[in-house]
A and B are shown apart, each in its own frame.
Chain A
Amino acid sequence: MNDLQSLARRLMTLDDRIVACMKCGFCQQVCPMFGATMMEADVARGKLALVSNLAHEMIRDPRAVADKLGRCLLCGSCEAACPSGVKIMEVFLAARELVYEYIGLSPVKKVIFRGLLTRPALFNLAMRMGAPAQTLIFKKSRDAQNTVCAPMLNFMLGDRHIRKMAARPLHARYGHVDEPRAAGGLKVAFYPGCMGDKMYVDMAEACLKALRHHKVAVYMPRGLACCGIPALSSGDARGMVAQMKISLELLEQGSFDYLVTPCGSCTATIREYWPMYADRLGAGMKRLADDLAAKTMDINQFLVDVLRVEAAVPSEDAVTITYHDPCHLKKALGVSAQPRAVISANPAYTLKEMREADRCCGCGGSFNLFHYDYSRKIGQRKRDNVAASGAKVVATGCPACMMQLEDVLSHNHDDIVVKHPVEIYAETLK
Chain B
Amino acid sequence: MASQALIKEFEQLLGKENVFSSEADCQSYSYDSAVLNPVVPAFVVRPTTTEQLGQCVSKLYENGIPMTVRGAGTNLSGGTIPDRSDTVVILTNGLNRILEINESDLYAVVECGVVTADFANAVAAKNLLYPPDPGSQSVSTIGGNIAENAGGLRGLKYGVTKDYLMGIEFFDATGALVKSGSRTVKCVTGYNLGGMMIQSEGTLGVISTAVLKLVPPPKASKAIMAVFDDIQKAAEAVAGIIAAHIVPCTLEFLDNNTIVRVDDFTRAGLPRDAAAILLIEVDGHPAQVEDEAVVVEKVLKENSAVTVHVARDAAEKNKLWEARRMALPVLARCKPTTVLEDATVPRSRIPAMMKAINEIAAKYRLEVGTFGHAGDGNLHPTFLCDRRDKEEFQRVEEAVDEMFDVALKLQGTLSGEHGIGTAKAKWMEKETSRGTILFSQRLRRALDPRGLLNPTKLVGI
Contact = CB atoms under 8 A, between A and B. Distances in A.
Interface of A: 15-16, 19-20, 22-26, 28-29, 38-41, 46, 49-50, 53, 58-61, 64-65, 67-68, 83-85
Contact of A38 (B29, B94, B332): B94
Given A19-B337, A19-B386, A84-B333, A68 B24 contact: yes
Given A24-B74, A29-B139, A64 B338 contact: no
Interface residues of B, number: 34
A19 B387 contact: yes
A46 B32 CA distance: 10
A68 B24 CA distance: 8
A20 B23 CA distance: 24
Given A41-B28, A64-B23, A28 B72 contact: yes
Interface centre among A23, A38, A53 (most CB of B within 10 A): A23
Contacts of A40: 25, 28-29, 73
Given A24-B136, A83-B329, 15 more contacts: A19-B336, A29-B138, A29-B139, A39-B20, A40-B73, A41-B28, A49-B28, A53-B27, A58-B27, A59-B24, A61-B23, A68-B24, A84-B332, A84-B333, A85-B333
B328 interface: yes
Interface string B33-75: 1000010000000100000000000000000000000001110
A22 B23 contact: no
A15 B30 CA distance: 19
Given A29-B139, A41-B25, A59-B24, A23 B333 contact: no
Nearest to A82: B329
Interface string B14-28: 000000101111011
B31 interface: yes
A26 B136 contact: yes
Given A25-B74, A83-B329, A84-B333, A50 B24 contact: yes
A17 to B, nearest CB: 9
Contacts of B363: none
A46 B387 CA distance: 19
Contacts of A28: 72, 139
A20 B136 contact: no
A67 B24 CA distance: 10
Contacts of B186: none
B328 A83 contact: yes
27 contacts: A19-B337, A19-B387, A22-B337, A23-B33, A24-B332, A25-B32, A25-B33, A25-B73, A25-B136, A26-B136, A29-B117, A29-B138, A38-B94, A39-B20, A41-B25, A41-B27, A49-B38, A50-B27, A59-B23, A59-B24, A61-B23, A64-B22, A64-B24, A68-B24, A83-B329, A84-B332, A85-B329
A16 B74 CA distance: 22
A46 B28 contact: yes
B315 to A, nearest CB: 16
A219 B46 CA distance: 56
Contacts of B329: 83-85
Contacts of B388: 15, 19
A65 B22 CA distance: 11
